[in-house]
Amino acid sequence: MKKFFSEFKQFIQRGNIVDLAVGVIIGGAFGKIVNSFVADILMPVISLALAGGDISDRAVALRGTYKWDDAANAFVASEGAILFRWGSFVQAIINFLIIAFVLFLIIKALMKLKAGQDKGKEKALAKAQKKKAEGKKLRAYEEELLAEEEARLAALANPAPVPPTTNELLTEIKELLEKQAAKK
């Protein structure tokens, strides 16, 4: 049981799980903001264009009827009515498009920021390499940059061995079993 909790602790402490949890929480909060924007700001403007009312209440009666009930402040369907609620669907599409657009803008900004950081890192690396070639004293972060670059180049020069394929492993197992059978 102790091993189980130890493994669970390692699983939870992985960076990816924590990042995922934070992303889900922020995504939920962001979804509420977008829903509020759509319901409270955007949809009233669209409703004005559609002669009033909340668009999410719009529907077509396939069977039975529905009418506006002032007391309930909503559309009420007759008993047994089947409604095609196109308004809710349109509102969900609008929510999706706004969320997708905002996420696109955020990701685009982050990619641009990362590209700028990479470019800055490349310039700093070139400057550090030049200083090293000239025999000048390097700052600590310049030494770290050079060490990272050397490690990256070493990894490229010595790629990890390719693991054997399933067929290769099965062939090896078959040969071992044949040898064992021959000894008996």
Supply 20's token pair: 């995922």
Q: What is the structure's pLDDT at 149?
A: 86
Task: Give the three-class secondary structure for 73.
Answer: coil
Q: What is the structure's pLDDT at 8?
A: 77
Q: In the chain, where are the structural domains located?
A: 1-53
Greater pLDDT, 159 or 111: 111
72-94 residue pLDDT tens: 666 777 788 888 888 888 888 88
Q: What is the structure's pLDDT at 53?
A: 63
pTM of this structure:
0.53
Per the prediction, the chain carries an average pLDDT of: 82
Q: What is the structure's pLDDT at 52?
A: 62
DSSP state of 52: S
Neighbours of 88 (CB within 10 A): 14
Task: Give the three-class secondary structure for 14.
Answer: coil
Supply 74's token pair: 């909503």
User: What DSSP letter does each residue of 15-39 carry, written as one string?
Assistant: HHHHHHHHHHHHHHHHHHHHHHHII
Window from 9-23, 24-38, 102-116 with minimum mean pLDDT: 9-23
Whether the CB-CB separation of 152 and 121 falls below 8 Å is answered with no
DSSP state of 53: S
How far is Cα 52 from Cα 63, in angstroms, rounded to an integer?
A: 24
